[in-house]
Amino acid sequence: MKFIDEYRDPELVRKLLNAVNVLAEKIGRPITLMEICGTHTHAIGRFGIRRLLPGSIRLISGPGCPVCVTSISDVDRALYLAERPNVIFATFGDMLRIPGTGGRSLQQIRAAGADVRILSSPLDGLSIAEENPTREVVFLGIGFETTAPTVASTLRSARRKGLKNFSLFSVHKTVPPAIQSLLDDPGLDIDGFICPGHVSVITGGEAYRLIPEAGRAAVITGFEPVDMVDGILLSLQQILEKRYAVAIQYARGVTQGGNLRARQTMAEVFEPGDADWRGLGVIPGSGLFIRKEYESMNALNRFPLPEIHSAEFEGCRCGEILRGAMSPPECRLFRKACTPVNPVGPCMVSSEGTCAAYLRYEA
Amino acid sequence: MSTERILLEHGGGGLLSHELVTEVFLPLFSNACLDRLEDSAVVTLEGRKFCFTTDSYVIDPIFFPGGNIGSLAVHGTINDLSVCGGIPLMLSAGFILEEGFPMEDLKQITRSMAEAAKTAGVSIVTGDTKVVARGAADGLFINTSGIGMIEYPQPLSVDSIQPGDAVLVSGTLGDHGATVLCRRRELGLSSGIRSDSAPLNGLISSILAASQHIHCMRDPTRGGLGAILAEIAGQSGFSITIQESELPVRDEVKGVCEILGFDPFFLANEGKVAVFCAPADADRILATLRNHEYGRDAKIIGSVGERNGGGLIMQTIIGGSRVVDLPLGELVPRIC
């Protein structure tokens, strides 16, 4: 299949792996690379890439799964909103099983009677609102720069259509501030970052300048096996030559400048604010909050929230895993108390979660 | 059970379905026949072997490219009998209709069932109808049961699988699952994909006639080929290795899966069979499959290894390997 097969060419992957081996040997010390994006984690597992790499290269997963970094208090707030009478609660599929305090999830409250709907596009939420004029449609907007522009544009359309029964609960976040927070951690031992592919289509390469400035390799990488191994190779080159810059491996999708129009749409609806990330804590300027101009469509204004006492699960190490400070098998709950059927922490829930990917592909 | 209420995932054919069956139904219904958990029950009556199966159909949408709930209900039960080596003899059909369901749709569905049964050479010999109040069902649900006669001399079962067995599949993966996904309103994708819903009794009799060394067959419906192979690996204790590069998938299905983040390996099929057989007979069975209209794209996709509890291993297209687990159940698109 065109645009796929050429990026899964076993011969090309083999050649790139040979080059990786040569560079790894030249560098002559253990190298740690962090893939920030959950889809990269998934691709590494799905194609069995980890086992093809030389032993000196360690890949660790970063905070790039939007479901996983959603704080437990945001999950609890989502559950509260979804349980309001007369509410149709709509969101993306991966949120369904994420446990809030006490292990409750959207899936469970749906089985108990809440009207929770899974959408592929936020725009479908507008049709649901139009078809159900006497009910309130609340959309949970989640994701990084990839999904935030579409959600922003949905809010714009809702206003243009004069829809009174559609509102948004935004837990959107942006990636560069999270990278900054990782770089600021003195205990973090990372030689380079495999930067996200799709987020970068919007942000452009410029957004990652902070990485080479901190003396680490940065390669924006695609999601196919050829891309992944090529991205690792380009990172090793930077590390060997100690010449750091934002390289774009995923050039068929990403430019240095990114998608300005999408960023403008985002900026019209959202403003940056401090957001609480699971595992990383509060990161300044990393959240996308609804601007004053769209305040009437903010679900948090429409449904006054009581004080909710959220509590993390005992023994859950998702925090360390999201910072790359720990790998899933090192967690005592992994595969025992915490499985995809009975997930304790978010990294086990989402298909992009580090623990789910490990259990699914590498256990 | 890990949950207090039934979740949609309990019906998805994955881990939660498995948990439901083994923790709720099996302990109370347990008997030698049921405990085997094959697609049909195999019973011996007066020295002759018969198989008996039942299945309920609740598909949404009711009509889809390549069939409708009626043809699906007939094909599904015929296939469950056929993979156990049964020659389908007769079916029952039970209808649960929702008040207000269009009569014309019911007639069309019934016509499809009659045609499907006729094509497969099976009679619908008994039935039942119930009507429930609006809202108590979604349009219509159909249950079909079937009885088949087994003439194949060897037992076809997970227990018959041998180390070294070849694993074949009769054609492209995920056509039905991808069709239904595309038809669901919220995805708004249009594609030329059609469901592969088809009766497999003809195809299966042809391979049973061609080889005395077929050990086990399954139709990879809900949960796809991945789910049934993972289940067989779990039940048998054998490791099963699959070559990803050999899995037949239509480009259209691949495209839909790439967009939505699904894996055709885990999408439902309604006209495919997976075959475990002695390696010496694999090529002959492959040729026989390819000779039949429902087996043109058949492939040898892998083999059975040692009994070491190794599970299902996928050799990836780039030469890596990974373990494949039972999918969870509900299919949900990924966020990004």
pLDDT in tens, B71-81: 999 999 999 99
Could you tell me which residues come within 8 angstroms of residue A336 by beta carbon, excluding any fewer than 6 positions away? none
Range of the domain at B66: 40-150
Backbone φ and ψ for B313, nearest 5 degrees, come out as -115, 130
Using a CB-CB distance cutoff of 8 angstroms, which residues of chain A are in contact with residue B186? 118-121, 124
Return the structure tokens found at B221: 């419906």
User: Measured between CB atoms, does B135 come within 8 Å of chain A?
Assistant: no
Between A66-80, A186-200, B12-26, B113-127, the lowest mean confidence (pLDDT) is in B12-26
- Which of A305, A331, A350 is the C-terminal boundary of a domain? A305
Q: Which residue has the higher pLDDT, B324 or A245?
A: A245
Q: A46 vs B19: CB contact, 8 Å cut-off? A: no
The residue type at A286: S
Q: Is residue A350 part of a domain?
A: yes
Residues B112 and B255 in one domain: no
Domain holding A176: CATH number? Answer: 3.40.50.11740
Residues A262 and A196 in one domain: yes
Burial A334-343 (b: 16+ CB within 10 A, else e): bbeebbbbeb
Residues B216 and B320 in one domain: yes
Q: Is the dihedral of CA B134, B137, B141, B143 positive or negative?
A: negative
Using a CB-CB distance cutoff of 8 angstroms, which residues of chain A are in contact with residue B10? none
Interface test with A, best of B187, B322, B326, B331 (most A CBs within 10 A): B322
Q: A14 vs B319: CB contact, 8 Å cut-off? A: yes
Residues A73 and A207 in one domain: yes
Q: What is the mean pLDDT of chain A?
A: 93
Burial class (CB in 10 A: 0-12, 13-18, 19+), B271: buried
User: What is residue B1's predicted lDDT score, i.e. its pLDDT?
Assistant: 60
CA gap A299, B185 in Å, rounded:
26
Q: A359 vs B325: CB contact, 8 Å cut-off? A: yes
Residues B312 and B183 in one domain: yes
Q: Is residue A312 part of a domain?
A: no
User: What is residue B296's predicted lDDT score, i.e. its pLDDT?
Assistant: 98
The DSSP bridge partners found for residue A60 are A34
Q: Is residue A327 part of a domain?
A: yes
Residues A209 and A70 in one domain: yes
Q: Is residue A310 part of a domain?
A: no
User: What is residue B328's predicted lDDT score, i.e. its pLDDT?
Assistant: 66
Using a CB-CB distance cutoff of 8 angstroms, which residues of chain A are in contact with residue B6? 111
- Which of B150, B179, B195 is the C-terminal boundary of a domain? B150
Q: Is residue B332 part of a domain?
A: no
Could you tell me which residues come within 8 angstroms of residue A16 by beta carbon, excluding any fewer than 6 positions away? A226, A229, A230, A233
Using a CB-CB distance cutoff of 8 angstroms, which residues of chain A are in contact with residue B324? 360
Q: Is residue B28 part of a domain?
A: no
- Which of A305, A338, A354 is the C-terminal boundary of a domain? A305
**pTM for this predicted structure:** 0.86
A138 touches A89 (CB < 8 A) = yes
User: Measured between CB atoms, does B317 come within 8 Å of chain A?
Assistant: yes
Residues A296 and A331 in one domain: no
Residues A242 and A340 in one domain: no
Angle at A322 between CA A247 and CA A276, to 5 degrees: 100
User: Measured between CB atoms, does B259 come within 8 Å of chain A?
Assistant: no
Could you tell me which residues come within 8 angstroms of residue B101 by beta carbon, excluding any fewer than 6 positions away? B139, B140
Closest CA to B82 of B173, B151, B128: B151
Using a CB-CB distance cutoff of 8 angstroms, which residues of chain A are in contact with residue B325? 340, 359-360
Q: Is residue B204 part of a domain?
A: yes
Residues A300 and A329 in one domain: no
Residue pointed to by tokens 């019209």: A268
DSSP track, A33-69: EEEEEHHHHHHHHHTT-GGGS-TTEEEEEEEE-TTTT
Q: Which residue of B has its CA nearest to A351?
A: B334
Q: A147 vs B335: CB contact, 8 Å cut-off? A: yes
Q: How many domains does chain B have?
A: 2
Interface test with A, best of B253, B318, B330 (most A CBs within 10 A): B318
Nearest-neighbour CA in chain A from B323: distance (Å):
5
B13 touches B227 (CB < 8 A) = yes
Residues A168 and A251 in one domain: yes
Return the structure tokens found at A194: 């495999």
- Which of B124, B150, B176 is the C-terminal boundary of a domain? B150
Report, as an integer, the average pLDDT of B149-177.
Answer: 96
Residues B178 and B315 in one domain: yes
End-to-end CA distance of chain A: 30
Q: B7 vs A120: CB contact, 8 Å cut-off? A: no
Nearest-neighbour CA in chain B from A239: distance (Å):
25
Residues A261 and A339 in one domain: no
User: What is residue A363's predicted lDDT score, i.e. its pLDDT?
Assistant: 60
CA gap A194, A37 in Å, rounded:
8
User: What is residue B335's predicted lDDT score, i.e. its pLDDT?
Assistant: 41
Q: A340 vs B8: CB contact, 8 Å cut-off? A: no
Q: A1 vs B254: CB contact, 8 Å cut-off? A: yes
Q: Is residue A54 part of a domain?
A: yes
Q: Is residue A22 part of a domain?
A: yes
Give the closest of B15, B261, B318 to A10, CB-based: B318
The residue type at B31: N
Q: Is residue B95 part of a domain?
A: yes
Give the closest of B9, B316, B323 to A363, CB-based: B323
Q: Is residue B247 part of a domain?
A: yes
**Helix, strand, or coil here: B93?**
strand
Residues B132 and B243 in one domain: no
The 10 Å Cβ neighbour count of residue A84 is 14
Q: Is residue A311 part of a domain?
A: no
Q: Is residue B330 part of a domain?
A: no
Residues B102 and B247 in one domain: no
Residue pointed to by tokens 């309130």: A136
Nearest-neighbour CA in chain A from B8: distance (Å):
8
Q: Where are the alpha helices (DSSP H) in chain B?
A: 15-20, 26-29, 69-82, 103-120, 175-183, 201-210, 224-236, 251-260, 282-290
Q: A143 vs B187: CB contact, 8 Å cut-off? A: no
pLDDT in tens, B179-238: 988 887 556 666 788 999 999 999 999 999 999 999 999 999 988 999 999 989 998 999
Q: A143 vs B336: CB contact, 8 Å cut-off? A: yes
Interface test with B, best of A42, A47, A172 (most B CBs within 10 A): A47
Residues A183 and A150 in one domain: yes
Q: Name the B residues in 192-251 with CB < 8 Å from any A CB.
A: 245, 251
Q: pLDDT band for position B333 (50/70/90)? A: very low
- Which of B150, B175, B208 is the C-terminal boundary of a domain? B150
Residues B142 and B171 in one domain: no
Q: How many domains does chain A have?
A: 2
Q: B186 vs A48: CB contact, 8 Å cut-off? A: no
Nearest-neighbour CA in chain B from A92: distance (Å):
6
Give the closest of A47, A107, A146 to B320, CB-based: A47
Range of the domain at A341: 318-362
The 10 Å Cβ neighbour count of residue B54 is 14
Report, as an integer, the average pLDDT of B302-329.
Answer: 87
Query: How far are the Cα atoms of A85, A93, A184 from residue B257, in angstroms, in the given order?
Result: 36, 15, 39
User: What is residue A2's predicted lDDT score, i.e. its pLDDT?
Assistant: 78
Domain holding B135: CATH number? Answer: 3.30.1330.10
Residues B291 and B250 in one domain: yes
CA gap B85, B53 in Å, rounded:
12
Residues B86 and B175 in one domain: no
Q: What DSSP state is assigned to residue B123?
A: E
Residues B162 and B306 in one domain: yes
Residues B67 and B125 in one domain: yes
Using a CB-CB distance cutoff of 8 angstroms, which residues of chain B are in contact with residue A47? 316-318, 320, 322
**Full pLDDT tens readout for chain A, 363 residues:** 777 889 999 999 999 999 999 999 999 999 999 999 988 998 998 899 998 999 999 998 888 889 889 999 999 999 999 999 999 999 988 888 888 998 899 999 999 999 999 888 899 999 999 999 999 999 999 999 999 999 999 999 999 999 999 999 999 999 999 999 999 988 878 999 999 999 999 999 999 999 999 999 999 999 999 999 999 999 999 999 999 999 999 999 999 999 999 999 999 999 999 999 988 889 999 999 999 999 999 999 999 999 999 988 888 888 888 888 888 999 999 988 888 777 888 888 777 788 888 887 776
Peptide bond into B199 cis (omega under 30): no
Q: What DSSP state is assigned to residue A246?
A: E
Q: A359 vs B319: CB contact, 8 Å cut-off? A: no
Q: A107 vs B316: CB contact, 8 Å cut-off? A: no
Q: Give, for A190, the enclosing helix (H) or strand (E).
A: none
Q: pLDDT band for position B330 (50/70/90)? A: low
Nearest-neighbour CA in chain A from B101: distance (Å):
21
Nearest-neighbour CA in chain B from A111: distance (Å):
6
The segment with the largest mean pLDDT, out of A329-343, B12-26, B276-290, is B276-290
Residues B240 and B94 in one domain: no
CA gap B99, B102 in Å, rounded:
9
Cβ contacts below 8 Å, chain A against chain B, sum to: 117
Q: Which residue of A has its CA nearest to B321?
A: A48
Q: Which residue of B has its CA nearest to A46?
A: B322
Q: Is residue B122 part of a domain?
A: yes
Domain holding B194: CATH number? Answer: 3.90.650.10
Q: B321 vs A48: CB contact, 8 Å cut-off? A: yes
Q: What is the mean pLDDT of chain B?
A: 91
Q: B318 vs A48: CB contact, 8 Å cut-off? A: yes
